[in-house]
Structure 1
Amino acid sequence: MTDIRHIVFDIGKVLIHYDPDLAFSRLIPDADKRKWFFDNVCTSAWNIEQDRGRTWEEAEALLIAEHPDHAENIRNFRRHWHDMVPHAYEDSVAIMVGLIESGRDVTMLTNFAADTFAEACQRFDFLDRPRGVTVSAEIGLIKPDRAIYDHHVASFGLEPAATLFIDDSQKNVDGAKAAGWQAVLFTDARALKADLERLGIAA
């Protein structure tokens, strides 16, 4: 296994918390109705297209045409995004910052809508600490598509085999491995620290 010279962090559910239920438990208090809404209206498949670069205006218009009775809550998804992202994972952030301060080359690769990423950067200043970031919506590509990993490598001059990717999604971890990277599945900071130490990286 090639020694790791580059470390790439995902952001959502690795460095900052994300949970739409935090907003919608108030907007749709009934758990069954809320589940139906996420399964049938504001679905993961709908939301990921904003990560690919579709505007919220277009996304809302498409859904409202299909589900006019849910127009207000469709708009509420973006309107209440800040409630879905209440805090950072301070222990994960500490690991990332520690790696940077020890001289490690750290970048970020994230599926994120452009405007919500800008908002996140205003709220969480540690997102400015790594050398750079690839934001899916800014380039029209999303994980786990092979092209986004190749784009990140080209943008930041990485050697894939010497790159470690940290992501909370198994399919994104698998995508990185298929692109020739090393990768670990994030579950919590303690497990990440153990993974890094197993790979010879003090954290």
Structure 2
Amino acid sequence: MINTIIFDLGAVLIDWNPHYLYRTLFDSEEEMIHFLANIATSDWNEEQDAGRSLEEGTEMLVKRFPDHEANIRAFYGRWNEMLGAAFDDTVAILKKLKESGKYKVYALTNWSAETFPVALERFEFLSWFDGIVVSGTEKMRKPQPEFYQLLLSRYDVKPEEALFIDDNKRNILAAEQLGIRSIHYQSPEQLTTELQQLNIL
């Protein structure tokens, strides 16, 4: 019986997208896409999510791509401009689950420890969680199994009693390997349907 719901944050509850910033910095969509696919890549950003300092990550990339220094430094220098609004429909689902009193709700997020305080300040609903495990703080990240295990151990959660919600299929597969039932998030409507099928909503 499920008594614990574990949410991812980015792209599920919070809109974060580098395009918001870089569309203002590049003359064309093609240039922007090339920069984010080949220079300031998601793999590079995930190393900061896993605990590497923003300064170290930035300086490493500037050294490799000196011609792109200004745009590289903008990634964390203007990081706030990549942070969009909350996804209100998904936040409403979180609210229903929390207010039902039937479930503990936790967040398991790949997020730099240095930028996460910005989200905490901006999004009041983050205070609703019974606990939040941040990759940058723990120096491990999804889909590493020990990161999921950390949350389970810290909050005394049994895998078979938990449900994990994430937009990244890679992260879903890792959770399922640990025996955690999961929902691959695609939209609030789809999430609602799947939660109703499980008699959770």
Give me the TM-score of the superposition, normalised by structure 1. Answer: 0.96
Q: Which residue of 2 aligns with 1:67?
A: 65
Q: Which residue of 1 aligns with 2:127?
A: 128
Report deviation, 1:9.
0.4
Q: Write the letter of the residue equivalent to 2:47.
A: E
Aligned structure 1 segments of 4 or more residues deviating by more than 6 angstroms: none
Q: CA RMSD in A?
A: 0.8
Report deviation, 1:171.
0.5
Q: Which residue of 2 aligns with 1:80?
A: 78
Report deviation, 1:29.
2.5
Any idea what the Cα deviations from partners look like across 1:98-123, whole Å, max 9, x if unmatched?
11111121011000001211110000
Q: Which residue of 2 aligns with 1:183?
A: 182
User: Which residue, 31, 40, 45 being the options, matches 2:43?
Assistant: 45
Q: Which residue of 1 aligns with 2:156?
A: 157
Q: Which has the higher strand share?
A: 2
Give me the TM-score of the superposition, normalised by structure 2. Answer: 0.97
| Counterparts of 2:198 and 2:80, CA distance in 1 | 35
| SS of 2:183 mapped into structure 1 | strand
Aligned length: 200
**Unaligned residue ranges in structure 2 (runs of 5+):** none
| SS of 1:108 mapped into structure 2 | strand
| Counterparts of 2:154 and 2:26, CA distance in 1 | 42
| Counterparts of 1:156 and 1:29, CA distance in 2 | 48
Any idea what the Cα deviations from partners look like across 1:30-78, whole Å, max 9, x if unmatched?
1221122112210111000010001110001101111111111101011
Q: Write the letter of the residue equivalent to 1:167.
A: D
**Unaligned residue ranges in structure 1 (runs of 5+):** none
Q: Which residue of 1 aligns with 2:12?
A: 14
